[in-house]
Structure 1
Amino acid sequence: MEQKVIIRRYRPADEEAVVDLWSRAVKIAHPFIEGEGEGERARKMREVYLVEADNWVAEASGRVVGLLGLLGAEIGGLFVAPEAQGRGVGRALVEHAVSLHGEVTLEVYEQNLRARRFYELVGFTEQGRRPDEETGHTMISLRR
């Protein structure tokens, strides 16, 4: 069931809600990464990504349920709260990125099968693969 999703610019007041949904979403998406969603990775999220990226949030029923982080035309991060997944939030965020940049790229962990299926459904195609320096896991480059 799709819900009405509003996409707006990230505001510093969104930090707690965004870090919480990010942490819960990545622990499910990346169980193969030690310490995912906490500690050093959470610090980087707060101090680097939320500061340096062009961040947008998805709101449904007045709650922040998704985060889109853009680095130019690259989707550096796309996260949807677990309870809001499968309801059109991720698709709305991807469409927002495309509306801003036309063509967009991103990287996804090879082992994140759910995200890979989602990106395929919304029209991304594989461009290449590389090992992630930080984790050693394989990253797949996608373009739409």
Structure 2
Amino acid sequence: MIEFAAIRRYTATDESAAMDVWSRASRIAHPFICGEGEGERARKMREVYLVHAENWVAESNGRVVALLGLLDAEIGGLFVAPEAQGKGVGRQLVAHAAALRGPLTLDVYEKNVEARHFYARMDFMEESRRVDDDYDEVMLKLVRPAPKNQD
């Protein structure tokens, strides 16, 4: 697992670093989306999601390496810098979200196989499918029950 200083609330001063993580991670996760990680998608990320979601960042050596956005109990997005993937950061952010909200939901592209495997390991299960109107891609709605108390 990667050593990082903290999971903490996103602040406006994190915008540049968070956008960099989002852009690089999104391009890898969604190569089937034209213009992923830039342009209109970047504008929407910067002006809507970073402003209106409850965002959390993970830091390693004082540098933002991951971003998680919550919309109530829905994970609106989880983005881990490519160099930090596979080192436990995403797992710790999901655990943090579960500690805050209990049961969680999220949408993931069917073609994002790596993310689907990650979420399956985190006990998410497919609840439904739909076609994303913007990109004509299949989206899976995944659900995860609240973590069991370990008293």
TM range (shorter): over 0.9
| Residues 1:44 and 2:59 are matched in the alignment | no
Tell me if 1:116 matches 2:116.
yes
Residue in 2 that maps onto 1:127: 127
Whether 1:83 and 2:83 are equivalent positions in the alignment is yes
Alignment of 1:69-80 (within 5 A): 69-80=69-80
What is the deviation of 1:4? 2.4
Q: Percent of pairs identical after alignment?
A: 64
Q: Tell me how far apart the structure 2 counterparts of residues 75 and 16 of structure 1 sit (CA, whole Å).
A: 21
TM-score normalised over the length of structure 2: 0.93
Quote the residue 1:17 is aligned against: 17
Residue 3 (structure 2) aligns with? 4
1:142 is displaced (CA, Å) by: 0.4
Moved over 6 A (4+): none
**Unmatched runs of 5 consecutive residues or more in structure 1:** none
1:107 is aligned to: 107
Q: Tell me, yes or no, if the aligned pair for 2:126 and 2:143 is still in contact at 8 Å.
A: yes
Q: CA RMSD in A?
A: 0.6
CA distance in 1, matches of 2:33, 2:103: 29
The alignment's TM-score, normalised by the length of structure 1, stands at 0.98
Shift of 1:62: 1.1
Q: Is the 8 A contact 2:126 2:141 kept in 1?
A: yes
**Deviation at residue 60 of structure 1 after TM alignment:** 1.2
Q: State how far apart, in whole Å, the 2-side matches of 1:20 and 1:64 are.
A: 9
Deviations 1:30-66, CA, capped at 9 Å, x for gaps: 0000000000000000000000000000111111000
Distance 1:33 1:27 in 2: 8
| Residue in structure 1 matched with residue 32 of structure 2 by the alignment | 32
Partners in 2 of 1:95 and 1:133 — Cα distance?
A: 30
Work out the CA distance in 1 between the residues paired with 2:90 and 2:137. 23
Q: How many residues align?
A: 143
The 2-side partners of 1:110 and 1:13 are apart by 33
What SS is found at the alignment partner of 2:111? coil
User: Unaligned 5+ residue runs, structure 2?
Assistant: 145-151
Q: Which residue identity lines up with residue 9 of structure 2 in the other structure? A: R
